[in-house]
Each structure stands twice: as structure tokens, then as C-alpha cells.
């Protein structure tokens, strides 16, 4: 009854069509959310540093990471339910869909309430460990308020679960994107007016309640058939898969979001601030790519449901090839323009040299390349296959990051990211997941991965020439930056779109 993925035999079965307009709406909303997050982060970091200093700016950056860890209290139930909802939503089995939504609502709120009893003291203890000249009362109050806003967000998880699975993620993106902008503008305005930094996290908590209401309205408009119905059988299915999802979530957070926390413990909040100025750019680019991929995951799941194994493998390969091309162009863009962007957004950052920028670009390339694997794992709901791989990746990264950051500062964090990326996602994942998830032999998987990376780098080489030529005219300033990045993005997107359309059409025609 609750099978997340069906192996279809013979000719592809009919699957409810998804309009191209829906694809564009979801992608454009993801770009809007990306832009809102970047703008909010940049404005907060710049204003807070100008008014209260670098230590407070580092605390502001750190708060966002702590918030992400609070959301772990949903214990993987959300993504588990999303993967289980694809099929009943396509089949218009509304009572079954309602059961899943109710199961998530019940379990997440219960686990969040219980978990809060442990989380709030832990957040307080962590606040005492941060190396900072900011008064402990400020650090403690800020992080506790961040925890409260995270708990409020968890109360709305079941709304997001349905909207995501039903290809209505654009509703989520617009609500959250607008929330970033409104919370930043209102919180900073009040904090600056009163000269009291704590008003920023206070306002964020209050306006997070508004996000909850907006998501609730969007959910009921998108799913008017929602009804109270028995949900315990659905809860059992969600919990069964959730334990594997949770492993992926914890590992992902530890890998992607622990850098600020590690630096706050091994160095200082000033180093966190210097690192954050470049990491925000790197993280924003990775986040944009991830949000676009997430916005299309439900559509991809439908394509996968309606195709044979050979066609699904073809879809994966062309997606990987397009991703490698985009990743190569993004890496080049980061190398050539990140310093200019940081200077324009935050002012000169003399603490960062050429080597860290190169390392940032390489790590960004590897992280984008592996998003294709993660997207297909989510679309197939195959969280239980090779679930122990993230258990290896996250500790390997964290141990390396702690050791190297103490000696090399934030360059050590980036080197740890590169090494752990090469060990687990590239080598171990190919050995374990090649056949059961990507439906290839190990040799095919490795040869295709290496081949697609080489193709991506070669096809991106004209962009390297474009950036090199643009560097000959530094006097053009921001106009040059916008023009060259626009041309590079257009080049990458047009070719990637061609690769995807041709590949998916070939798979459909088989």
C-alpha cells in the first residue's frame, strides 16, 4: 500500500503528465528563494558588522548553522513521507495522501516537543563554548531564540511535505523567500533603531509565526481534499524509512553546515566572519543548484515511475553530464570573480589569499557534481541502500576539519571537504550504489563519472578563456563582472538544457 517505488515491466505505464509551466514555476521560485537568501545573508552580515563589529557578524553567521541543526528534530520523517507520497498523489488516492500528512504532523510535533527539552540546554551549553568577545548573555540569548524559531518551523513541516511531493514547491519557496526578506528588513531596522542586536533574533522568531500561517493557507488551497482519516498505518511506513533518511540528513548537515561551528570552537568568531564572506558565495551557488534540483525532484520521480530500467539509467547519465558542465562553469566563475563580489558586498577581505579561493572552487565543483546522485536517490526513495556511507563521510570530514582548521585556519576546512568528497561520494558510493540505485555496473558507473567530468571541463574551457580575457579590462568594474558571468551562465544553461532535452527524449522514445 505504501510502496515508494514500483519497477514497471514492459512498456512504460501512463503517469499523470506534468505541465512545462509547472516546471518553470518551480525553478523560478527556487531562484527567487536563492536570491532572497543571498540578499538577506549579505545585508545582515554587512549591517551587523558595520554597527556592532566583526564578532557580532560572526555570531550572526553562526546562528543560521545552529538553526539547521534544530530542524533535525523532525528525524527524517519529512523526506521519508515525500518519497512515499509520489505514487498516491499521482494515483489521486486522496485519503491515503491525507493519512501520510497527518502521520507527519503528529510525529514531528511530538518529537519536536520532546526533543526541545534536551535541545534548549544543549544550545545553552554550546553558547558557553564559543570563543568570542561578545558577552555570554548576548550569545546565549541569540542562540536560544534561534532554537525557538526552528521549533516553530517544525510545526509547519507537514504542509511542506505535501506541497513538495505534489510539485507545489513553488508555494514553499515564495513563502520562505519572502520571509527571509521581511525578517531581515524588519529585524535590522528595529535593531539598528534601538541599537540593540537582540531585536534581530526576536523579530525573526515573531515573523516565523507568519510563515507558518502562510504555509498553512497555501497547503489548504493546493489540497482542498485534505481530511481527517486514520493515519497509524501510514506513520509506520514513514517511520520505517525515516531512520535511513535521518542518517542522510545528519550526515548532510554535519558535512555542509558544521564549518562555522568548528571554526567557532577551534579559532574565533572573527575567523568565522572572514570565512563566511567567501562561504556565503560558495554556499549560495551550491544552494541555488540544490534548490533547482529539489524543485524538479517530484517531476523526476514521475519520469522514473513511468520508465524502464534502461531509460532511467539514460536519464541519470545525461543529468550527470549536464551537472558536470554547470559545475565546471561555476568553479571557473568562483575563481575569477569571487574576490570582486566579496569586496563589493562586504569590503576588502585581506585575510583570504589566492590558494583558499582555488580550494573553495574545487570543493564547490565536487559538491555540485554529487547533487545528481543525491537527487536520484531521493526520487527513487532508496535511502536504505548504502545508508552507512554518510556515516563514514560526515565523521571523516569533521575529524579532518577539526585537525586541519587548528593548523591551517579555514583553508583546513576546505581541504577536509575536498578529501572527504573524493573518498566517499566518488569512490565508495560508486562501489556500493552503482547497480541497485543507478542501475549500472561499477565499471560503467566509474567510467561514466570520469568521462562526464572530463567532458564538462572540456566543454567549459571557452568560459575559462572568456574570464581570462575579461580580466584584461579591470577598469570596467561591476559591469564587466555582470556581463561575463551572464554570458558564462547563458552558455552553460543552453548547452545543459540541450543535453537534458535530447537525453530525456531519447529515453522516452526507447
pLDDT at 15: 38
Same domain assignment for residues 88 and 217: yes
Write the DSSP symbol of residue 167.
T
How big is the chain by its Cα radius of gyration, in Å? 23
Q: What mean pLDDT is predicted for residues 167-171?
A: 81
The total of structural domains in the chain comes to: 2
pLDDT of residue 403: 84
User: Which pLDDT score, from 0 to 100, does residue 301 have?
Assistant: 61
Instruction: Report residue 253 as a C-alpha cell.
Output: 548537515
Asked if the structure places residue 292 within a domain, the reply is: no
Highest mean pLDDT among 19-33, 178-192, 249-263, 275-289: 178-192
> How far is the C-alpha of 109 from the C-alpha of 103, rounded, in Å?
10
In a domain, 229, yes or no: yes
CA dihedral 37, 43, 45, 51 (to 10 degrees): -150
Question: Residue 510's Cα: distance from chain center in Å?
Answer: 33
Q: Are residues 57 and 189 in the same domain?
A: yes
pLDDT of residue 199: 92
pLDDT at position 212, please?
Answer: 92
Whether 223 and 365 map to the same domain: the answer is: no
Residue 89 and residue 216 in one domain: yes
Euclidean distance between CA atoms 5 and 383, whole angstroms: 12
pLDDT digits (tens, 9 = 90+) for 385-416: 766 777 777 777 888 888 888 777 778 888 88
Taking residue 225's Cβ as centre, other Cβ atoms within 10 Å add up to: 9
Q: Report helix, strand or coil for 402.
A: helix
- Indicate the pLDDT class of residue 190, thresholds 50, 70 and 90: very high
Do residues 384 and 506 share a domain? yes
The CA-based angle 203-277-199, given to 5 degrees, is: 15
Are 224 and 333 found together in one domain?
no
> Is the same domain home to 218 and 358?
no
- Tell me the per-residue pLDDT of 71-109, one tens digit each, with 9 for 90 and over: 777 878 888 888 888 888 888 888 988 999 899 899 888
384 contact partners, CB below 8 Å, separation of at least 6: 241, 244
Q: Lowest mean pLDDT: which of 80-84, 208-212, 378-382, 414-418?
A: 378-382
Range of the domain at 92: 19-241
**pLDDT exceeds cutoff 80 at 27:** no
Last residue of a domain, one of 221, 241, 261: 241
pLDDT-based confidence at residue 207 (cuts at 50, 70, 90)? very high
Say yes or no: 441 and 318 in one domain.
Answer: yes
- For 450-495, the pLDDT digits (tens) are 888 899 899 988 988 888 888 776 655 666 777 888 888 888 888 8
- Residue 262's pLDDT is 78
Query: What is the distance of C-alpha 495 from the center of its chain?
Result: 24
Contacting residues for 87 by C-beta, under 8 A, at least 6 apart? 3, 4, 5, 6, 305
What is the C-alpha to C-alpha distance for residues 99 and 94, in angstroms, rounded to an integer?
9
Q: With 60 as the cut, is the pLDDT of residue 2 above it?
A: no
SS3 label, residue 54: helix
504 domain residue, yes or no: yes
234 within a domain of the structure (yes/no): yes
For residue 303, the model assigns a pLDDT of 61
The percentage of the chain sitting over the pLDDT mark of 90, rounded to a whole number, equals 6
| Residue 471 to residues 107, 377, 480, Cα–Cα distance (Å) | 55, 40, 9
Please tell me the distance from the alpha carbon of residue 297 to that of residue 79, in angstroms, as a whole number: 12
pLDDT tens for 317-373 read 888 888 888 889 889 888 888 888 887 777 776 667 788 888 888 888 988 888 887
C-alpha cell at 380: 527513487
Task: Decide: pTM greater than 0.85.
Answer: no
Please check the confidence at residue 114 and state whether its pLDDT lies above 80: yes
Binning pLDDT at 50, 70 and 90, where does residue 147 land? confident
263 found inside a domain: no
> Where a domain ends, among 241, 264, 290?
241
- Residue 473 burial (CB count, 10 A): 11
Mean pLDDT of the chain: 79
pLDDT, residue 273, reads 73
Q: Please tell me the distance from the alpha carbon of residue 187 to that of residue 48, in angstroms, as a whole number.
A: 11
Phi-psi region of 227 (alpha: psi -120 to 50; beta: other; left: phi over 0): beta
**How much of the chain, in percent, has pLDDT values that exceed 70?**
83
3-state secondary structure 292-324: HHHHHHHHHHHHHHCCCHHHHHHHHHHHHHHHH
Asked whether residue 193 is domain-assigned, the answer is yes
Q: Do 313 and 237 have their domain in common? A: no
Task: Quick: pLDDT tens for 283-310.
Answer: 777 776 766 666 555 566 666 666 677 7
Structural domain contains residue 1: no
Confidence of residue 3 (pLDDT cuts 50, 70, 90): very low
Residue 366 sits in the same domain as residue 484: yes
Q: Does the structure show a pLDDT above 90 at 182?
A: yes
8 Å CB contact between 459 and 498: no
Q: Among residues 30, 302, 278, which one has the least CA distance to residue 169?
A: 30
Does residue 151 contact residue 167 with C-beta atoms inside 8 Å? no
* 359 and 236 both lie in a single domain: no
C-beta neighbour count of 39 within 10 angstroms: 17
Q: What is the pLDDT of residue 234?
A: 87
Q: Is the pLDDT higher at 300 or at 212? A: 212
Q: Which residue has cell 548547452?
A: 495
The single residue listed with the C-alpha cell 554597527 is 51
Lowest average pLDDT, out of 156-160, 186-190, 454-458, 499-503, goes to 499-503
Identify whether residues 32 and 143 lie together within a single domain: yes
User: Are residues 244 and 384 in contact, defined by beta-carbon separation less than 8 angstroms?
Assistant: yes
Would residue 320 count as lying in a domain? yes
pLDDT for 49 beyond 70 = yes
Amino acid at each position: 500500500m505504501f510502496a515508494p517505488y514500483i519497477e514497471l515491466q514492459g512498456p512504460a505505464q501512463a503517469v499523470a503528465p506534468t505541465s512545462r509551466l509547472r516546471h518553470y514555476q518551480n525553478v523560478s521560485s527556487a531562484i527567487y528563494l536563492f536570491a532572497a537568501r543571498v540578499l538577506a545573508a549579505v545585508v545582515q552580515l554587512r549591517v551587523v558588522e558595520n554597527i556592532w563589529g566583526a564578532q557580532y557578524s560572526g555570531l550572526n553567521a553562526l546562528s543560521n548553522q545552529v538553526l539547521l541543526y534544530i530542524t533535525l528534530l523532525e528525524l527524517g520523517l519529512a523526506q521519508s513521507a515525500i518519497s512515499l507520497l509520489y505514487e498516491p498523489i499521482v494515483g489521486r488516492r486522496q485519503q491515503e495522501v491525507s493519512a501520510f500528512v497527518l502521520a507527519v504532523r503528529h510525529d514531528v510535533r511530538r518529537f519536536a516537543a520532546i526533543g526541545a527539552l534536551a535541545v534548549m540546554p544543549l544550545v545553552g551549553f554550546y553558547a558557553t563554548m564559543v570563543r568570542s568577545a561578545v558577552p555570554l548573555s548576548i550569545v546565549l540569548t541569540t542562540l536560544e531564540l534561534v532554537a525557538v524559531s526552528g521549533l516553530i518551523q517544525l510545526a509547519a513541516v507537514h504542509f511542506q511535505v505535501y506541497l513538495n511531493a505534489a510539485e507545489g514547491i513553488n508555494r514553499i519557496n515564495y513563502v520562505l523567500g519572502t520571509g527571509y526578506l521581511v525578517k531581515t528588513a524588519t529585524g535590522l531596522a528595529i535593531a539598528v533603531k534601538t541599537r540593540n542586536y537582540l531585536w534581530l533574533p526576536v523579530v525573526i522568531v515573531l515573523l516565523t509565526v507568519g510563515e507558518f500561517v502562510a504555509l498553512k493557507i497555501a497547503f489548504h488551497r493546493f489540497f482542498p481534499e485534505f481530511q481527517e482519516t486514520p493515519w497509524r498505518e501510514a506513520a509506520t511506513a514513514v517511520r520505517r524509512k525515516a531512520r535511513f533518511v535521518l542518517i542522510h540528513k545528519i550526515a548532510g548537515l554535519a558535512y555542509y553546515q558544521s564549518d562555522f561551528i568548528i571554526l567557532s570552537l577551534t579559532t574565533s568568531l572573527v575567523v568565522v566572519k572572514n570565512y563566511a564572506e567567501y562561504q556565503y558565495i560558495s554556499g549560495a551557488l551550491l544552494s541555488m543548484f540544490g534548490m533547482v534540483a529539489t524543485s524538479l525532484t517530484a517531476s523526476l520521480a514521475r519520469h522514473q515511475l513511468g520508465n524502464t530500467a534502461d531509460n532511467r539509467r539514460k536519464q541519470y547519465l545525461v543529468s550527470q553530464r549536464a551537472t558536470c558542465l554547470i559545475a565546471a562553469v561555476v568553479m571557473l566563475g568562483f575563481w575569477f570573480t569571487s574576490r570582486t563580489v566579496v569586496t563589493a558586498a562586504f569590503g576588502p577581505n585581506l585575510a583570504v589569499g589566492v590558494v583558499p579561493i582555488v580550494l573553495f572552487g574545487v570543493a564547490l565543483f565536487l559538491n555540485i557534481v554529487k547533487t545528481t546522485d543525491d537527487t536520484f536517490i531521493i526520487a527513487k526513495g532508496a535511502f536504505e541502500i548504502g545508508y552507512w556511507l554518510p556515516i563514514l563521510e560526515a565523521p571523516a570530514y569533521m575529524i579532518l576539519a577539526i585537525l586541519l582548521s587548528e593548523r591551517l585556519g579555514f583553508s583546513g576546512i576546505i581541504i577536509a571537504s575536498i578529501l572527504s568528497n573524493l573518498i566517499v561520494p566518488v569512490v565508495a558510493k560508486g562501489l556500493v550504489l552503482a547497480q541497485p540505485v543507478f542501475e549500472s555496473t561499477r565499471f560503467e558507473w566509474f567510467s561514466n563519472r570520469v568521462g562526464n567530468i572530463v567532458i564538462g571541463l572540456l566543454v567549459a574551457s571557452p568560459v575559462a578563456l572568456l574570464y581570462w580575457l575579461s580580466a584584461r579590462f579591470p577598469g570596467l568594474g561591476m559591469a564587466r563582472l555582470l556581463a561575463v558571468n551572464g554570458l558564462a551562465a547563458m552558455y552553460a544553461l543552453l548547452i545543459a538544457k540541450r543535453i537534458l532535452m535530447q537525453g530525456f527524449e531519447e529515453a522516452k522514445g526507447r
